[in-house]
Amino acid sequence: MDRDLCRIGTSIIALMPHSYLRDVLAKSVALTHAFWRETLIHTAIYRELIENLGSREALPRLAHLLCEIAARLELVGLLDNGRFHVPFTQQDIADACGLSKVHVNRTIQELRRRKLTEWNGHAVDLLQRDRLESLAEFRPSYLMR
């Protein structure tokens, strides 16, 4: 594998040889299209990640991460009126954003001060999602909604 896997919660991982996958895909156009679409989505997500880490300041960078998490959770019905649960620590968020833990803490405080988000433990409320998306320059189309 060319990457690590990490999990939050219980997971089951199955490995299969490429030869088996090639045989299955040769027999199913629909499955081939599903895999191709998934590849396109992942490519778009990586492009967005590179832009986020390479060209955005801390505030829009963290706002973008929150917008992406919310959009992904919304796609699967887990966003509750702009509120979601994040089982991450500030260190996890810092690692995801390429920032220090102290910088993330200050950035979270700034999002609170601007009344864009509210954090209660591990629950995050997006108070003004449209303004947060504007700050983040977030366009959810790269998630292929």
Evaluate whether 65 touches 110 at the Cβ level (below 8 Å).
no
Evaluate whether 59 touches 132 at the Cβ level (below 8 Å).
no
Helical segments of 56-119, H only: 58-75, 90-97, 101-113
Write the DSSP string, 93-105: HHHHHT--HHHHH
Residue 129: CB partners within 8 Å, gap ≥ 6? 67, 70, 82
Domain architecture of the chain: domains with CATH:
18-143 (1.10.10.10)
pLDDT band at 1 (very low <50, low <70, confident <90, very high): low
Residue in 100, 101, 82 with CA at minimum distance from that of residue 90: 101
Residue 42's pLDDT is: 84
The percentage of the chain sitting over the pLDDT mark of 70, rounded to a whole number, equals 97
CA–CA dist 27, 11 (Å, integer) = 28
pLDDT band at 9 (very low <50, low <70, confident <90, very high): confident
Residue in 65, 79, 63 with CA at minimum distance from that of residue 130: 63
User: What single DSSP character describes residue 11?
Assistant: -
Residue 54 has pLDDT above 90, yes or no: no
The percentage of the chain sitting over the pLDDT mark of 90, rounded to a whole number, equals 65
Residue 145 has pLDDT above 70, yes or no: no
Q: Give the mean model confidence (pLDDT) for residues 118-134.
A: 95
Residue 63: CB partners within 8 Å, gap ≥ 6? 111, 116, 132, 133, 135, 136, 138
Lowest mean pLDDT among 64-68, 88-92, 115-119: 88-92
